[in-house]
Amino acid sequence: MMPASHFPRPRTARPLHGRRRQLGVVAIEFALIFLFGLLPLLLLTFSGVLIFAAQQSLTLAAAEGARAALHYGTPTQRNTNACSAAQASMQWLSTFSGDVSPCTSGAISISALAPCPSTPAMQCMTVVASYNYNTHPFIPGTATIYQWVLQGAISSSATVQIDTSGD
């Protein structure tokens, strides 16, 4: 039998030493990929979803305001009804931007009764609801990124034909 000193040593000691030096590399790589790759992508996606929700709220606000203008009354009452309905539909946007009176600040604008282009015998009223994303971005810093896409305020309009001959 041969003494233990004559057997060759296993060569597993060196590769383990190299692996020990790289134990934290995967964690650092994950942190960098997450920070510079995945996190900005998630922020852009989330802010895009919020912009889509804002557009849908503005569309609903304009449509509800136009429907409310159909109620019988004077033109002033129609304007008040339209503004109240539109304001209720876009309440979360008004709250977020700090706009306490969107009817007077320009976030909701209602045109005066005017003859409709398609049917001059009817009167038309247009309700426009808008939100300025550049001054009140949902996530700070995204206004610069979305500036080339939005190019101004997000807005929606609805027009209603009113037969004023029965008033």
Which amino acid, residue 151? Q
What's the domain count of the chain? 1
Q: Residue 115 is inside which H or E element, if any?
A: strand 114-115
User: What count of Cα atoms within 13 Å lies in the side-chain half-sphere of residue 25?
Assistant: 6
> Is residue 82 predicted with pLDDT exceeding 90?
yes
Residue with tokens 């008004």: 94
Q: Would you say residue 158 lies in a domain?
A: yes
Residue 22 counted as domain residue: no
Output DSSP code: residue 38: I
**Backbone phi and psi for residue 159, each to the nearest 5 degrees, phi listed first:** -120, 140
- Residues 99-117, mean pLDDT to the nearest whole number: 90
Q: Assign 83 a pLDDT band (cuts: 50, 70, 90).
A: very high
Give percent above pLDDT 90 in the chain. 38
* 20 part of a folded domain: no
Domain-located, residue 150: yes
Phi, psi for residue 160 in degrees, rounded to 5: -125, 140
In-domain check, residue 14: no
pLDDT at 58: 95
Which domain range does residue 79 map to? 28-166
pTM of the full structure: 0.75
Is residue 133 one of the residues assigned to a domain?
yes
Q: What's the whole-number mean pLDDT along residues 121-138?
A: 90
Label the pairing between strands 114-115 and 108-110: unpaired
Q: Which of 129 and 105 is assigned the larger pLDDT?
A: 129
pLDDT of residue 105: 86
Answer whether residue 119 is part of any domain. yes
Q: Are 134 and 154 spatial neighbours (Cβ–Cβ below 8 Å)?
A: no
In a domain, 3, yes or no: no
